[in-house]
Chain A
Amino acid sequence: MASILSLSIPLKRPFGGRIKKMRMRLAPAGWGFLGLIGCGFLLSINFSNNLIFAMTFLLIAIALAGWYFTRVNLGGLAPADWRAEPVFAGQQAVFRLQVENRAAQARHGLRMHASGAQGGGEVSLAPGERAEMALRRPAPRRGRLPRLAVAMHSVFPLGLFEARLGAGELPVCLVYPAPLGAQPLPDQQSNRNAHQWRESGSYTDMRRYAPGDPLSRISWKALARFDELYTKEFDGAQGQAALWLRWSDVRGSAVEDKLSQLCRWVLDAHRLGREYGLELPGTVIAPAGEEPHLRRCLEALALYGLEETTGEQAA
């Protein structure tokens, strides 16, 4: 699970893009404060008491000054892009983004908020400092978590007003089926033995290195000679047969249970270092090993039967 599926969405660019409008509203404490000011007015008018008048006006004045501070508190912040890793159903998807304070003053009490997501704590940023802010979102079902608008909130300093600034959207996050099921990995009773690329066979070719190639295949001699990375290719072996994880092998009838069992198998097979192929109705993924294959298989499981409806959303 080392790789990261990061879908990047262009967010507010610190320069160039249009700066999003900041919205201010009364926080719950602000409503209470408003009531308090009302009380103050009633008292002062009722008793024609100038001291209470003065106090009420000072409260108003402080609230107004605080309004500015709250507003300014969100200025000069440069949020980067949200990142998220796929999760298994039942877990919480964690979204992270970096915020940089480009203003000369410190920023306090910053909080990310999206409906249906739990925010991390409040963050303070010294001038020039960066901090990572996170949002957690429950992922109860496999598939894709839809996008979600996020806003940065701050009630600093008085907590009477709340400033909100759009902070982009949470990206679509892939949710794999929960790995469940007690069935053991199927024996390779099938006669279709998988090809095992990892097993060394006879050398066939040398090609330029591409990211993701196993380190063991890098031709270090070539590196020493040409100062460039080359990958050696072999034709592999027919050694240990690959597993075939088939839809039809899973006992049970419920679709989700079957997918969960397959997911369990895929993870087990990956952990054992076996090569495996996946057969779903309508989808066949040829046996292979390594991370990208795992991801491909899990994605196929996650989106099984859903892609028609969510395809455009994910695009």
Chain B
Amino acid sequence: MAEVLVVVEASSQGGVKKVTLEMLTLARTLGGDVAAVVLGGSSDELTAKLGEYGATKIYAAAGADLDEYLVAPKATVLAGLIQRVSPAAVLLASTQEGKEIAARVAVKLDNGVLTDVVALEPDGTATQVVFAGSTIVKSKVTKGLPIVTVRPNSLTPAPAPATPAVEPVEVAVADKDRLAKVVERKVEAKGARPELAEASIVVSGGRGVGSADNFKLVEELADLLGGAVGASRAAVDSGFYPHQFQVGQTGKTVSPQLYVALGISGAIQHRAGMQTSKTIVAVNKDAEAPIFELADFGVVGDLFKVVPQAAEEIRKRK
């Protein structure tokens, strides 16, 4: 039985992102062995983690080419590996880099690619949620093998311990892969908060939050709940919060267990990014705000009174 390849998405600190564990869990349901592909920076800790979630083999590629240039060398290495081992399917994370690698591999191999997949059957049928969460699509790659990018938080990762064999993969890239050079990587402090796309709880603020300073309220509630902070486009455009935390169209799509919308009216472009959240809670002073149409629990009122009181109540219960 051919292997299913899972391309590992790691953070710059070497930790493995949750979506990688989700992909390993998904890969185990497809039949066949699960092999992880590490493109740059392997470690014993990483190997152990990948084994814990069922990787029986790890293809490990490393080298300056993978680190110093944007995406193209990784795509060349992955395409070469696919041609060599003829896997049953290839899973990548539906992140900026995951999609970019998938794009190049698809062109190199003249192979179909499906992105933002939330479920995948052994026969290759993929489920996608499109058009601002309004439509569910079932698709298949019809040329080549299934190359799919998996949206974070689409399933719950489950361990299945294995002891992976590590196989080094040669990195042989062409000059045309060395055109876009990464000259600096800046890590901005984000504290202990989970990453937005991967968080199981997201607390977001909108125009109603009123100022950058007031976003401390949003952060406080997020921290008490152990969640990530998000922002609507209106809040980002007003300069209240940085763009990388924007939820919705032209921002991130999130699908947490709990989404808390504070002072967000719920324009369709925002709903596009959070509509598939499991539970939605909203606080807004406008009783007619469209966000209440999708909220499982809504509080009509002043968020500057409701949120501090909620924070106090959570502290009491802790």
Co-assembled chains A and B: no
Interface residues, chain A, CB within 8 Å of chain B? none
